[in-house]
Amino acid sequence: MTRRIPVALTIAGSDSGGGAGIQADLRTFNSFGVFGCSVITAVTAQNPREVRRIDALPAGSASEQIAAVFAEFDVRGAKTGMLFDSRIIRAVSASLKGRKNIFLVSDPVMVATSGALLLKKKAVGDMMEYLFPLADIVTPNIPEARLILGRDIVSFEEMLSAAVEISCRWGCGVVVKGGHVKFEGGIKADAVAYGGMLYKLISPEIRTGAGHGTGCTFSAAIAAGMAKGGKLEDVLVEAKAFVYGSLAESVRPGRRLVSMYPPAKNYLNRIGLEKCGKY
């Protein structure tokens, strides 16, 4: 008897170095046991150190790719990553609007680890206006949250405040990733606002130099977990464990360390999720 399998979709750019974007998302989907579909928005010439070139695809290409996927696949989880410009953002948003039974994660990819701009500055407003209201969860890092809100964020309390503001302004859940904030006690923490509740998602601090693509991996892991019908609190812990494990078991296929993708269950006992109240 043929076995049915959950389907997740990534809408993002291609990373020629394989560490981020579409390539990282599809590996994550596979690791979580879901079938991965993809919509490519741009082709980048990059490696873990630099982005050399970006060629955005026509907005109509993204729309047609999305339509083709939904014509044949029962997509239950989706994520958006690098969208690059306003044309693509509007086309993707229009194609996703009204789709039911899909948990949508929006990773507002704006700047690469190397410093290269992955979203045109004029497109930031369009992302907030058209895409955020469709998302179930938005996952900005600290620099992205600063750009979205136009203010500095330097502590966990300010991360929580930022998560609440984004959630209330656009009607979505939020994970403000704390990789750029210094915590005491050898930990890292993310601020979560979802369904009127606040959480602190905690992992041990780990420094490997293999951080390229971890944001993509985290959002893809959430989309995969929700595609499988998971409970969000459990999915967040599993996604964080997956990212932590990928850093802990990084490898060196070239000049630099890159993440590998071990089973998240191997690291679940290192991740904590604490309630911080209501909003």
Q: To the nearest whole number, what is the mean pLDDT of the chain?
A: 92
Q: What are 208-232's pLDDT values in tens digits?
A: 766 788 899 999 999 999 999 999 9
The span from the CA of 9 to the CA of 50, in Å, is: 26
CA atoms within 13 A on the CB side of 268: 10
Over pLDDT 90: what percentage of the chain?
75
- With bands split at pLDDT 50, 70 and 90, how would you rate the model's confidence at 260? low
Beta strands in the chain (DSSP E): 7-15, 35-46, 51-56, 75-80, 103-106, 137-138, 173-176, 187-194, 197-204, 272-278
- With bands split at pLDDT 50, 70 and 90, how would you rate the model's confidence at 75? very high
Minimum mean pLDDT range among 39-48, 73-82, 86-95, 254-263: 254-263
Q: What are 40-61's pLDDT values in tens digits?
A: 999 999 988 888 999 999 999 9
Q: Is the pLDDT of residue 113 over 70?
A: no
Nearest alpha-carbon partner for 224 in 75, 38, 29, 81: 29
Higher pLDDT, 213 or 279: 279
Q: What are phi and psi of 128, to 5 degrees?
A: -65, -40
Q: Is the pLDDT of residue 179 over 90?
A: no
Residue that the structure tokens 């958006």 belong to: 80
The pair of structure tokens assigned to 69 is 């996927």
Mean per-residue pLDDT, 158-165: 97
pLDDT in the model for residue 114: 61
Domains and CATH numbers, the chain: 7-177+210-230 (3.40.1190.20)
- Direct distance between the N- and C-terminal alpha carbons of the chain, in angstroms, rounded to an integer: 48
Helix axis angle for 21-31 and 214-227, nearest 10°, is 40
